[in-house]
Chains A and B, each alone.
Chain A
Amino acid sequence: MKQAMVVSTVILGLLSAAGCHRASSPGPAATAYGAAVVAVSGDKQVAGAGAALDQPLVAQVNDAQGSPVAGALVRFSGGQGVRFDPASGLTGSDGQITVKVYLGGMAGRYPLLAITQDKAGKAYQAEFPEIALDYQQMLGRVLNEKYCSRCHNPESTAERVSNHDNLSVPPHAFTDGAALNAISKANLIAEISHGGAAVGKSAEMPPYGLTLSAPDIEALAAYIRAVADPPYRPQGVFNAAP
């Protein structure tokens, strides 16, 4: 009887220990240490809330002389709900590490971080600012692709030639927060709806008020706010500390 109790206690103990065990990923141990980490590529991307970023993040660890360090441990961290694959790892022979990212489920800015430590335990970090869009902003993004980006995006691709440089007054890129954040939402919507000439700007910006619906134009304004760099900060609104 007593023996059975002891055995069952041991089994219970083992079971609960197994149940409590969280698969914490300590990651591999660093074989080398750097003195800086830089964002190589994958920053400033835009995706739907919770969605995967199109491009992976690439971070590079350098030593004090600026040469890449292989085998340094890099840990990635982000806001709530962000998933990295893998969440940490060692840099390759080129001193770089590549991770896939799923953004969190809430729309907004995600300043993702790549963090490495030197031998003394001092942390260095590189920031990858990313943006997650909500439904309205995503609608704006799709409309932007069809109607706006041909002139407002100065970059040409093999599939889409930009008309940006053909205009006498160069249109603002939608990321140009320095210029666009200063325009109120009402004025932004007025300009999209009634065209540049109606608000004293270039007539090369045509009026979209009868081509697009009012919610579509609202969505475009929301998208412009969402991708602005520097970020748009609404004025005159009480902002609770997050």
Chain B
Amino acid sequence: MSLFEKIRQFLFRDSARTFGTCSVALLVLLAVVPAKDHFREWLGYQNGYERLIRNRSDGVSLARRFQGGVRQTWLPELQVVDRCTTCHVSLKEASLAGVAQPFRPHPPIPHALNEFGCVMCHRGQGFATTVEDAHNSTLAWEQPILPARYVESSCGQCHERPLTGTPQLNSGREMLASYGCVNCHKVLSPEGRAMTATDNPPPLSHVASKTSREWIFAWLKNPQAYAATATMPNFQLSDDDARDLSAFLISQSTPYLEGAPRKSAPSAGDAQQGASVYGESYCASCHAMQNAAGLMVGGNVGPELTRVGSKVKPEWLAEWLRNPKTYDPETAMPHYRFEDKDIGLVMGFLGTKTDSDFLANVKLEPATPAQIEHGKRLVNERGCASCHEINGIPRPDNFAPELSAVGSLALSKIVFVPGMQHTLPDYIAAKIRNPRSFGSALKMPQFTLADSQVDALVTALLAQTTRAKTLPVALRIQAPPPSTYQPAGKAAKLIADMRCFSCHMINGRGGSMAPELTWEGSSVQRSWLVNFLKRPNTLRPALIRRMPKFNMTDEEANTLADYIMAVYQTPAFDSGSADVANFAAGDAAHGKDLYYGKYACNSCHILDPNKDKGYLGPTLTQAGLRLNATWVFHWLKNAQELRPGALEITWNMGDDDARAITAFLMQQKAATAQGGAK
């Protein structure tokens, strides 16, 4: 008799024995369920929490607020189901700051935890009840927890408008536009609005007039060798490819001044004097240049000019300085009304900004038709026309994959490179950091980015989720649609010609480098404005970016001033109302006391250059010649209302104080602006 047969005999000999055996088995099975429940991982944590709080002085209150068992937050309209609070039982107990996870309280955020749940921000597998399942990333886990350094991306699912508290997300979104990512990749907001590029790459249809084939070759090989700050990526072209591309770009180029009467280019003047003109014209407000000490000085609106002398042809530079729009109608560079002498001087200065190393090893034979043909093929393959205007090459549509929902990209659809973490943030970061590591034939070029910039871009891209699209509209903080504001009339032509919008914002359109001008007409006096437009002087001593001198004619300055005075008027008050200017005797003296005493305006403004030191706000030595009294009065009461985001405090001053300080300021009519630039 086999062993099996013996056991069977023993257990199921007769019906009574069989009944007994089954009963015992059932009992054991019944016991397994509570036993299994007793060893649940989360129960261990809840027991641990009770042990943690037992001996604390606030233990009783903590215990009263503690609820055991599986806890769940269910928010159907947000598609949130999470049980994280089963183990993270004390998220709201601020007194537990500093204890180890999972019991740390949640740091303060502007949202109530039970209204948004956990996975909205942290992702992860919300309905899991074990540590491993909830947080970790396994090879096939679709939604591991989001590493803390990308957590701002979750804010971006609802907040399309920049938030003050999410600098990384804001800078990532700004980079998607300013590094030209969106020239190739479509990125749509949940409403379906496409993100637009702000980088404005130059047209190449007349490039042969501007630079040499040798320069194009060296630039294509390594743009950052020419300018460390260049945003043009490196396409990692072979010498042959760069040779053929440069050959094609030169061959497609057409003359850009055809038919127009070309003035003879002034000859390059003295570099030293040219440096003065460059400085006085505040070219450095937009253009950076490496100084003798090797430091980069200047703004980043225009290209870096450290080696510009090795790049541009003198005739082109002369024409560009005369009026940049003849070469590039879309350029952000203003039309300076330079005289030929000054053009020659700036040319002389920029001509010294050369680097003999940059083109030293570039030796190109004349191009053959086959090379040009190959160059054209490369232009199409690499998508050059996505960014640059090139003759005969249409702009490709959707050249690169759309990234509108890349933050929800399924891991199963991703081909990872051996050795990398199988998570979405790691994949996106690797794609940005070193695109060709995914295959040498890939088209995406190599960008030169700091680690923090890569993190910012990953954050912005992770915000592009499918969840964002399905959120209730009421939750979405939409970005305002881009302003299409257009000034009118003769002044509009001048505003366009001098590219005021490159730096100033008016009615929601324009840059942020210079003060907003939406209500400028209410704020200043016309005579001052005309004078300032003709000869800008320094108002804010601490600023290093300054308003350039455009060499306007009297007529132009008057046209602009008339328009600004008539149109850029706030509806909040009538700037001509006289009652504010009817100061009582003694107002000004009282105002002086308030200015230096109660309100300590001198901490930020210089009024008496011999005494005052603060230099954050505009100099007020000539306030009485510059400002409108009614504006000053209202500005002292509520500056933020007149210019949102202004650094000026909203003082909420009473009428008497505001009138007294206004009276004092309107007395300030010093003959020359102090601390002013030349």
Contact = CB atoms under 8 A, between A and B. Distances in A.
Contacts of B165: 135-136, 138-139, 142, 219
B647 A215 contact: no
A105 B148 contact: yes
A107 interface: yes
B445 to A, nearest CB: 24
B75 interface: no
B58 interface: yes
Interface residues on A, range: 35 or more
Given A136-B109, A163-B615, A50 B164 contact: no
A39 to B, nearest CB: 21
Contact of B650 (A50, A210, A238): A210
Nearest to B170: A142
B544 A49 contact: no
A203 B149 contact: no
B147 A52 contact: no
Given A50-B148, A54-B452, A138-B165, A203 B598 contact: yes
B652 A107 contact: no
Nearest to A242: B98
Given A50-B149, A138-B167, A147 B544 contact: no
Given A135-B165, A142-B165, A158-B297, A238 B95 contact: yes
B615 A166 contact: yes
A202 B151 contact: no
A197 B598 contact: yes
Contact of B99 (A51, A166, A203, A240): A240
Contacts of B614: 163, 166-167
Contact of A51 (B149, B295, B541, B616): B149
A222 interface: yes
Contact of B542 (A100, A138, A161): A161
B393 interface: no
A136 B604 contact: no
A26 to B, nearest CB: 19
Interface string A99-132: 0101011111000000000000000000000000
Contacts of B57: 238
Most-contacted residue by chain B among A48, A202, A215 (CB, 10 A): A48
A166 B451 contact: no
A215 B98 contact: no
Contacts of A137: 107
Contacts of B149: 48-52, 102, 105
Contact of B647 (A108, A135, A147): A147
Contacts of A210: 638, 640, 649-652
Contacts of B451: 52, 100
Contacts of B652: 210
B108 interface: yes
A139 B164 contact: yes
Contact of B603 (A48, A146, A204): A204
Nearest to B604: A163
Interface in A173-214: 197, 202-204, 206-208, 210-211
Interface residues of B, number: 50
Dominant SS at the B interface?
loop
B96 interface: yes
Contacts, number: 126
Most-contacted residue by chain A among B152, B164, B614 (CB, 10 A): B164
B186 interface: no
B110 interface: yes
Interface string A134-166: 111111001100110011000000111101011
A238 B56 contact: yes
A51 B100 contact: no
A176 to B, nearest CB: 19
Interface string B46-76: 0000001000111000000000000000000
Interface in A35-81: 48-52, 54, 81
Contacts of A237: 95
A160 B153 CA distance: 29
A50 B459 CA distance: 13
Given A102-B149, A203-B598, A240 B98 contact: yes
B600 interface: yes
A166 B95 contact: no
Nearest to A216: B164
Contacts of A81: 148
Contacts of A3: none
Nearest to B606: A166
A185 to B, nearest CB: 12
A239 B98 contact: yes
Contacts of A159: 544
Interface of B: 52, 56-58, 95-96, 98-101, 104, 107-110, 147-152, 164-165, 167-168, 295, 297, 451-452, 455, 541-542, 544, 597-600, 603-604, 613-616, 638, 640, 647, 649-652
Given A52-B452, A150-B542, A163-B603, 4 more contacts: A136-B107, A165-B613, A204-B603, A210-B649
24 contacts: A48-B152, A50-B149, A51-B149, A51-B168, A51-B452, A51-B455, A104-B148, A135-B165, A136-B109, A139-B164, A139-B165, A150-B542, A150-B616, A151-B603, A158-B297, A163-B542, A165-B613, A166-B603, A166-B614, A203-B597, A206-B651, A210-B640, A240-B52, A242-B100
